[in-house]
Amino acid sequence: MTTVWKVLVLHGPNLNLLGQREPGIYGSLTLGEIDACLREDGVDLGAEVSTFQSNSEGQLVTAIHGALGNYHGIVFNAAAYTHTSIALRDALAAVQLPCVEVHLSNIHKRESFRHISHIAPVAIGQICGFGLNSYRLGLRALVDYLNGQADS
């Protein structure tokens, strides 16, 4: 029997404004369109994808805690919290679920304060700079990782 992986995709602050917020940096797709694409990709990959967005750091911490025992892994765009939140980093470390950090833009080509990620040290990997494909590649990488763990 093939495992259907349960994946939580978390979106951080201001991502609810995608499609209207700085389209030159973040593209023209809405968050709803990104979520729909990821759910479709999930079907092809054998994953059930659930999504959650919040502008609140505390709600994101609570979502990470709630993933324990309910999901096999997390795809996470912590947005601006990437560079500031020890609380999110600690929540990911606490639940010990595999996490892929994703960003629509290349955070390493932007302002220097965006070059620091508190998420990366507790993630299995980071994908940035590919717009929607950052999420899609992140989901694929997570499922490949989960499949590899199941085989070992």
Determine the average pLDDT of the residues in 44-49: 98
Enumerate the β-bridge partners of residue 99: 74
pLDDT of residue 110: 72
pLDDT on residue 113: 65
Structural contact between residues 102 and 76, judged by C-beta atoms closer than 8 angstroms:
yes
Is 70 exceeded by the pLDDT of residue 99? yes
Which of 11, 71, 81, 103 does the annotation list as catalytic?
Answer: 103
Q: Which of 26, 71, 81, 135 is catalytic?
A: 26
Report d(CA 136, CA 34) in Å as an integer. Answer: 9
Per the annotation, the verdict on 26 as an active-site residue is yes
Give 70-88 pLDDT, tens digit per residue.
999 999 999 999 998 999 9
Mean pLDDT of the 44-59 span: 98
Helix ranges (H only) for the chain are 23-26, 31-45, 57-67, 86-95, 132-151
β-pairing verdict for 5-11 and 47-53: parallel
What's the token pair of residue 115?
A: 């070059």
User: What does the alpha-carbon distance between residue 113 and residue 16 come to, in Å, rounded to a whole number?
Assistant: 22
- Which residues are paired to 100 by β-bridges? 75, 125
Q: Is the pLDDT of residue 140 over 90?
A: yes
Say what the pLDDT of residue 92 is. Answer: 98
pLDDT bucket at 106, cuts 50 / 70 / 90:
confident
pLDDT of residue 107: 82
pLDDT surpassing 60 at residue 68: yes
What residue ranges define each of the domains in the chain, with the CATH number in brackets?
Answer: 5-151 (3.40.50.9100)
103 part of the active site? yes
